[in-house]
Structure 1
Amino acid sequence: MAVADLASAMMLIAYGEVKFKGKPAPHMPPQSLSCFDQTIPVPQTRFPGKHEFSPLKDKDLPYWSPSCIYRYKVGRKFPKNYTRKGDGEKIQKGIVPPCSKLKKAGPPAAGGFKERDNPPNTLFRKCYQRGDLPLAIDHTQTKLCLNWKVELAKVDYHYFLPLFFDGIREKEDPYRFIAVKGIEDLLKAGDGKVLPVIPQLIVPIKNALNTRDKTIISCTLQLLIKLVQCEEMIGESLVPYYRQLLPIMNVYRNDTLNIGDSIDYAQQKKQCLGDLVLATLEIFEKNGGDDAFINIKYMIPTYESAVIT
């Protein structure tokens, strides 16, 4: 076996692509994040937000049908399955199982809030590993910031801004920090260059939202607020793309924490997705023009206008 074939086989084994006796192989430990690390390529069949459909256990009749009584037994309820006269004493002695303790049929979990696949195959990660990004992390300041090698006024927004938005679904550092901080720096120095790039940003933003990872969704919504507020007319240019952006917001519209009369000291961290979604929708409505509210209402029927008329 050649050295290249052996190396590729070891990489597949390490990342669980090869199974041993029907069981997946153990995954590699986290990378050291050094400059010598390279992300192992993932199969092309993996894409962000992929939903895995689980086959039904019962082929004859779905086990959530009203005619089912047990999860493990499919069929209608027969007379012997009902409690009869004189079974009260037997139930107390444990001879006859009570009907209330039987596992009744119910629908399977829909998985609407379940995190979906988020493979490390972003173009931003590849460009950073190849050294194509004209920046570096500046560790000399009181907090981490980016040291750009070129002036932001000379940066090609049509290439770099979608590239950085593609990296917002990264969860490993330094990819996550560079992507988020790079977007903030580019939006601050936009000066009319962000508006023409809006159509190229929809697919990366949609991929980040489709992962259904709360940390990624929270970061994406905060960047959307900054995107709308950085220049004029951006809010109106996003209105035709509400059908791609708002469905995930509708899922987490009511994802709030009821703490009664207590105080939430973590409000500044913006971890409550329900409040963050509401703030994003209000910014969309206020900056989206006359057609913003009716389009938001079409995708999120429970939304109420925040504009005082």
Structure 2
Amino acid sequence: MSASSRGPSRNTNQRSKTTTPPLASPSTSSASGVRAKPSDKLNPKTIDPFAEPQRSPSAFAAIYSKGGIPCRLVHGSVKHKLHWECPPEIIPFDPLLINLAEGLRETRHPYTFVSQEGFKELLMVPKAAEKALPLLPKLAAALKTALVHSDGAVFERGLNGLVQLSAVVGPALNIHLKNLLTSLSKRLMDKKYKDSVTTSLQKLEHYGGKVISDNSL
């Protein structure tokens, strides 16, 4: 075959190559969306094992975010305080006081302050003892979770809450103290908490009577 007969064929091939549109880059996506590629089925997206896991909100945090806790933290220049959406004396203790007791085991702000201050202030309203008595089993269970918590600050909030509750309901709390006092025994051996636990036990005995001595450490 002559060179002249091969020339047009070679030119035709070159023209066909130059007119062929370039293939789109796999990483290129249109503004309207990304077209699924066959490789997506073979290589599905996976979770980054090094990414920081997102922590689910606690029960108290979820209730707080939905407005179930009718008080909010007010930042002061010197001291923080709570603002109640309505007078706390007209708020039913069930379930608010239980929710606040469960919130004592929180470790994040502002939940730590709201639960601790809210629990204390709610127990200061008139007829608090009458309102709290039917809730003692649930309150004792909530305080137990704070007292056995590994975080020392949570333990101290639970301890304060226990003393505050005892000051309001008195001997009525004694029946629930057996399980609660055993939680204090481990902390009593810790030099850091020995004084606060000892003082709290003295207050519990004062509010609950001598019967506490039979159940104490």
TM (norm. structure 2) is: 0.70
The Cα of 1:238 is off from its aligned counterpart by 1.9
2:71 maps to 1:151: no
| Counterpart secondary structure, 1:287 | helix
Instruction: Write the deviation string for residues 267-301 of structure 1: whole angstroms up to 9, x where unpaired.
Output: xxxxx3111111111112222224221122xxx2x
- Partner residue of 2:204 out of 265, 278, 284: 284
In structure 1, what is the Cα distance between the partners aligned to 2:75 and 2:151?
29
**Partner of 1:255 in structure 2?**
190
* Equivalence for 2:24: none
Task: Go from structure 1 to structure 2 and tell me whether the alpha carbon gap of 1:146 and 1:211 turns closer, same or farther (over 3 Å shift).
Answer: same
Amino acid in structure 2 at the alignment position of 1:240: I
**Corresponding residue of 1:242:** 177
Partners of 1:243 and 1:274 lie apart in 2 by 19
In the aligned structure 2, how far is the partner of 1:252 from the partner of 1:125? 27
Asked whether the 8 Å contact 2:146–2:157 carries over to 1, the reply is no
The CA distance in 2 between the partners of 1:181 and 1:199, in whole Å, is 21
Secondary structure at the residue paired with 1:238? helix
Once residues 140 and 238 of structure 1 are traced to their aligned partners in structure 2, the CA distance between those partners, rounded to angstroms, is 35
Pairwise CA RMSD = 2.4
Structure 1 runs not aligned, ≥5 long:
1-9, 15-19, 29-38, 42-119, 257-271, 301-309
Displacement of 1:214 in angstroms is: 1.3
Alignment correspondent of 1:138: 74
Q: Which residue of 2 aligns with 1:27?
A: 52
Structure 1 residue 40: Cα displacement: 4.2
Equivalence map 1:43-192=2 (5 Å): 121=58, 123-139=59-75, 142-191=78-127, 192=129
Shift of 1:126: 0.9
* 1:275 to 1:133, Cα distance in 2 relative to 1, 3 A: same
Q: Establish whether residue 219 from structure 1 lines up as the match of residue 157 from structure 2.
A: yes
- Tell me how far apart the structure 2 counterparts of residues 180 and 282 of structure 1 sit (CA, whole Å): 21
> Percent of aligned positions with the same letter in both sequences?
26
Say whether 1:199 aligns with 2:137. yes
1:200 Cα deviation after fit: 1.8
After TM superposition, give the deviation of residue 198 of structure 1 in Å. Answer: 1.7
What amino acid maps onto 1:241 in structure 2? H
Q: Which amino acid aligns with 2:202?
A: E
1:99 matched residue in structure 2: none
Question: Any idea what the Cα deviations from partners look like across 1:195-225, whole Å, max 9, x if unmatched?
Answer: 3322220111111122232111112112222
Q: 1:227 to 1:13 in 2, by over 3 A?
A: farther
Residues 213/40 of structure 1: CA separation in 2 closer, same or farther (3 Å cut): closer
Aligned pairs (5 A) from 1:37-48: 40-41=55-56
Question: For the pair shown, which has the larger CA radius of gyration, 1 or 2?
Answer: 2
Deviations 1:135-157 (A, max 9, x none): 22223564211111111111011
Which residue type is aligned with residue 226 of structure 1? Q
Change (3 A) 1:245 1:152: same
When residues 40 and 190 of structure 1 are mapped into structure 2, their CA distance, relative to the original with a 3 A threshold, is farther
